[in-house]
Structure 1
Amino acid sequence: MIAGIAWIGTSFYFVALDFSLRKEPGMPPGVGGEAWEVHGGGFYHVRKYLTAPETLPKDLIWFKWEAYLTWVTGFLLLVVLYYLQADSYLIDPNVMPLTQWQAIGISVASLVLGWVLYTALCKSPVGRSTGLLAACLFAMLLAFAYGYTHLFSGRGAFIHIGALIGTIMAANVFMVIIPNQRKITAALLKGEKPDPRLGAIGKQRSLHNTYLTLPVLAMMVSNHFPMITDNAHAWVLAGLIILAGGLARHFLVRTEVGDRHADLAWTIPLICTALAFGLIITQPSKLVLFQGEVSDAEALSIVQTRCAACHAEHPTDATIKVAPKGVHLETLDQLKRYAAQIEVQAVQNKAMPLANRTGMLDEERAKLGTWIARQ
């Protein structure tokens, strides 16, 4: 998250800067525009060369490690949490009964495939049209989201949508933007004229990155929201997040550079429509309650059998060292205290038990719902 903040911050800044550049008379050859900025008690005068200046300064700042560290630390977290504990977080037998190595193999292969398809689209004739390329990229991400939600657990699917987007963004920096910049620099040092296409390609990929930042942030924290990850239409929700996030980023970018809000008004109803559909889809379904009496003892027995493996003072689940969120479900008083949370997580969303490792039955969920409703 720390590396991501640094990366996204620089991405936001440079895209806003790029759009705010103004062409003024009397500029040096090769300068595409300049901007005056005020911050931190001083003024900054920034110029952008479309290829490169005639001479390079001794101290040239490269912005790359923010992107690299975000991806590396993110992938390490993916390994530690979702690969090493695949049975808990990545695999859901009710979705697809995968083995640990099958799930890991699909994960790695999908990230590589996503980058290959994305870069092929950018290099194809489709890449010459910004609108068509955006539509194709959206369709590609939606297809991956559909595939992930039909292969992995809800949490595993959403984190992989984020991992795919993050991989595309980091690979853009590592494999396109920085190499192209190095080629421009090398040509300049040799006294040759740099290829202007290299800068144009780098700008295209950088622009893609900034439009993907808000959706990838949402995916990074998605495992805290089972109403999204464990939804029957999770892949549709992923598409709505990508669409609304991209449109919101467009509104912010163009606002930052002084465009009139009247010219950006078309984004507002689209964003609101996407959010409205999201609200509709995530509405809790009507509870199916148990038709009959459920005693305190029976409700407690269900929770002790299905939930207390993790939610106990001394968890028996090998992957859990401390009860999540400090919630203990070993006594009737504790059951009553956390009844509202149990109703949301185990009865409504069915997000718990995690990956349903203890095999909670729908009838047991219905009985808990009935017991809670009558408290």
Structure 2
Amino acid sequence: MFELAIIWDWIAFAVRWLHVVTAMAWIGASFYFIALDLGLRPSSDRRKGVSGEEWQVHGGGFYFVQKYNIAPPRMPDDVIWFKWESYTTWLSGAALLMIVYWMGGELFLLDPTKADIALWQGILISGGSLTIGWIIYDFLCKSKLGETPTLLMLLLFVMLVVMSWGYNQIFTGRAALLHLGAFTATIMTANVFFIIMPNQRIVVKDLKEGRTPDAKYGRIAKLRSTHNNYLTLPVIFLMLSNHYPLAFGTDFAWIIASLVFLTGVTIRHYFNTLHKTGKGPNWTWAVTVILFIIIAWLSTASTGETYEEAEARDLTPYEQQFASAEGFEDAYDTIVGNCSMCHAREPSWDGLRWAPKGVFLETESDVARHADQVLLHAGLSRAMPPPNAIDMDDEARDTIVAWVRAAKDN
């Protein structure tokens, strides 16, 4: 059981690496094609059906790109389809969600101070909620609102704010922001799978069968692709938010997440306008800075659970498993003595105002709750505590390993 926990963590590492690599490929392709499309100039040879073209230089070579307004006169022999970047990003992200937030739900998913629900209920909410956004969003896009893209984006923003608030009523702050990112990424990938790719297949089929493709399919796909472009930056932030406790570990995390979506829109609007006209609207940077200042202020306008409240709270079954294991008292004294000066609700380490990653290691429930993390960072490795802070000896680390091993082998 103990060794399985280590193997499981390496599996999570491998899936995370796959997720990061494919996400980079998807985001890079998305940004490139939006910039390319906006930067196209009228075709120099006025070839029939060519709506724009552009010369580019990269890596020591020159490239000449042309875009057909609808489709070329005939189907080319070789066409590159950009779809697997999106699919693999979502599939690997879903797998990572299950590994980290479902298998480790007692620690990372559920917050007993917010909602007293069973793990299976949390997992059901986690998985089921991801589909809600796509169903509502797709319905709005296919309605008359699809003809007013700006209003459609505003309604999408309202939906994201509601989901941000809802997630924060149930999950840990870290899980809430991550799920909001997964919620948005599901909409983006569903756009590719259910709309963009099927529309492109219709155009390809028409070409192969000698028919003139309908331009509406390209317009629909372009709308969804543009939405994806504006949603990309907020999703990246939300996926990385677990590194920033000031973003997820505050009373106003749901508002912070909502404002992050606005900063993503202002930044993308600047670059999209720059690619189209050669000059970006500078006011977007002023708005972005103001939003960032508001986010920073909200991150500190928070009280959170006090030490006394944490001390008085009953241990969950997951925490009880580790708190009742052989060697807990010695491990607890070791961890508090070596870690709590930083990992406290009011850190005593000079210059440190918030616990790193929002992890507290003060009370018995704190230590029991974060047993796996302590094992990986201070038991099996020397990642923590920082060597220039405290020289934690091997005996202390062995105490942690023995305790967690006893708890898992029970």
Counterparts in 2 of 1:23 and 1:345: CA distance versus 1, 3 Å:
farther
Aligned to 1:27: 46
Report whether the alignment pairs 1:131 with 2:150.
yes
Aligned to 1:9: 28
Structure 2 distance, partners of 1:103, 1:32, is 50
Q: Return 5+ residue gaps in structure 2 as ranges.
A: 1-19, 325-330, 368-410
Q: How does 1:277-288 map to 2 (within 5 A)?
A: 277-283=294-300, 285=302
Aligned-partner residue type, residue 287 of structure 2: L
Aligned-partner residue type, residue 269 of structure 1: A
CA apart distance, 1:28: 1.7
Contact 1:177 1:202 in 2 (8 A): yes
Q: Deviations over 1:210-267 (max 9, x none)?
A: 1111100001111121211121011100111110012112212222445324xx1221
Structure 2 distance, partners of 1:341, 1:353, is 5
Counterparts in 2 of 1:140 and 1:12: CA distance versus 1, 3 Å:
same
* Range 236-245 or range 50-59, more displaced: 50-59
Report whether the alignment pairs 1:167 with 2:191.
no
Contact 2:71 2:203 in 1 (8 A): yes
Report whether the alignment pairs 1:115 with 2:144.
no
CA apart distance, 1:332: 7.3
Contact 1:328 1:334 in 2 (8 A): no
Aligned to 1:371: none
TM-score by length of 1: 0.80
Aligned to 2:342: 340
Aligned to 1:352: 359
Structure 2 distance, partners of 1:334, 1:219, is 31
Structure 1 distance, partners of 2:300, 2:241, is 17
Aligned-partner residue type, residue 273 of structure 1: I
Q: How does 1:1-375 map to 2 (within 5 A)?
A: 1-261=20-280, 264-283=281-300, 285=302, 316=322, 330=334, 334-335=338-339, 339-343=341-345, 351-353=358-360, 358=365
Aligned-partner residue type, residue 160 of structure 2: L
Counterparts in 2 of 1:34 and 1:151: CA distance versus 1, 3 Å:
same
Counterparts in 2 of 1:151 and 1:200: CA distance versus 1, 3 Å:
same
Contact 2:332 2:364 in 1 (8 A): no
CA apart distance, 1:121: 1.3
Aligned-partner residue type, residue 292 of structure 2: L
Aligned to 1:372: none
Aligned residues: 328
What secondary structure, in the 3-state scheme, does the structure 1 residue paired with 2:365 have?
coil
CA apart distance, 1:41: 1.0
Contact 1:148 1:161 in 2 (8 A): yes
Contact 1:244 1:271 in 2 (8 A): yes
Contact 1:184 1:198 in 2 (8 A): yes
Structure 2 distance, partners of 1:345, 1:191, is 71
Contact 2:341 2:347 in 1 (8 A): no
Counterparts in 2 of 1:344 and 1:160: CA distance versus 1, 3 Å:
farther
Structure 1 distance, partners of 2:364, 2:190, is 36
Aligned-partner residue type, residue 147 of structure 1: G
Counterparts in 2 of 1:59 and 1:329: CA distance versus 1, 3 Å:
farther
TM-score by length of 2: 0.73
Q: Deviations over 1:295-344 (max 9, x none)?
A: xxxxxxx9xxx9xx99xxxx9589xxxxxxxx997167625xx6234356
Contact 2:50 2:67 in 1 (8 A): yes
Q: Return 5+ residue gaps in structure 1 as ranges.
A: 292-301, 319-326, 361-375
Structure 2 distance, partners of 1:130, 1:234, is 28
Aligned to 2:7: none
Structure 2 distance, partners of 1:230, 1:59, is 50
CA apart distance, 1:125: 1.4
CA RMSD of aligned residues (A): 3.1
Structure 2 distance, partners of 1:98, 1:357, is 22
Structure 2 distance, partners of 1:178, 1:352, is 43
CA apart distance, 1:7: 0.3
Contact 1:215 1:245 in 2 (8 A): yes
Contact 1:88 1:357 in 2 (8 A): no
Contact 2:267 2:288 in 1 (8 A): yes
Segments of 4+ moved more than 4 angstroms: 284-291, 315-318, 343-350
Counterparts in 2 of 1:4 and 1:288: CA distance versus 1, 3 Å:
closer
Structure 1 distance, partners of 2:332, 2:76, is 61
Structure 1 distance, partners of 2:293, 2:299, is 10
CA apart distance, 1:162: 0.4
Structure 1 distance, partners of 2:304, 2:135, is 44
CA apart distance, 1:21: 0.7
